[in-house]
Amino acid sequence: MAAPSYSLGKTLLKIDNVSLSYDDRPVLSGVTAEVRDIIVPGKVQGQVVGILGPSGCGKTTLFRIIAGLHAPTSGRVSVNGFDRPVIAGEVGVVAQSYPLFEHRSVLGNLMLGAQKKEKDAKVARDKVMAFLTEFGLEDKYNLYPAQLSGGQRQRCAIIQQILCSEHFLLMDEPFSGLDLIMLEKTCELIAKVADMDDLNTIIVVTHDVTAACSVADHLWLMGHGPGDDGKTLPGSRIVKQYNLIDRDLCWQPNIITTARFTDFVREVKEEFRRL
């Protein structure tokens, strides 16, 4: 089966030779990658990138640098073609615990995000209610976070960050601890958020290889790769990138039930184990 027809547009997010050291101990070394706008004729198509790697490989550190929460020792991350490092708040962050203010209602939490962009309170409220309706939460606006299910809380946290940052969303281990039904729903939610706008870019940091393969169009595999002499280099980097579109593993219903998907997951897991 032929891969879907698509082209790549402008660079939306660029990681340019990012390194980080603590007390002269390299944690990240020369991390370089970019996310480009994926253009599919006749379709709104966002971007989903999965960052994979074993524990301790620097995924969380890179996560914080992409979010603008931590400055690298050298190199930089930039978004939207800006000739400067990313600023905290330009990339939304959905932490694993889906933090919300417990003393505020759903509407109150989301209004905080909306009013960072919209000064008119009515415009901000209309925007919030439109998102709640889109995500099936229109009847939950008056509840408090403690009254929500885990899935509902996750959706609220995602809406909150979209309202703040508009097109960029970082998700930390969104598949951790989920049963099979919730795992499937989370994958569907990520795809839904990405496809709300051509420029929407979701970056998922995870150790769940199968879930990442099922939702991403590109994968970045992090680890301590060998140098030219075959010895392991200090500091972690992106050692391999996968384009799932060219492998015809994207945007198809029930793709995870196919033999080629299973073979691909096995390939990535084998590479994972070698890191």
> Which pLDDT tens digit goes with each residue over 72-93?
999 999 998 898 999 998 999 9
DSSP state of 170: E
The per-residue pLDDT for 254 is: 87
Q: Which of 113, 92, 95, 96 is nearest to 104 (CA)?
A: 113
146: nearest Cα among 101, 93, 94 = 101
Render pLDDT for 209-245 as a digit per residue (tens, 0 to 9). 999 999 999 999 999 866 555 566 688 999 999 999 9
Q: How far, in Å, CA of 119 to CA of 33, rounded?
A: 35
Residue 23: the pLDDT is: 86
What is the rounded CA–CA span in Å between residue 81 and residue 50?
A: 21
As a CATH number, domain 7-103+144-274 is: 3.40.50.300
Residue 268 to residue 252: CA distance in whole angstroms: 20
Three-state secondary-structure class, residue 38? strand
Query: pLDDT at position 164, please?
Result: 83
What pLDDT score does 13 carry? 97
pLDDT lower than 50: segments of the chain: none
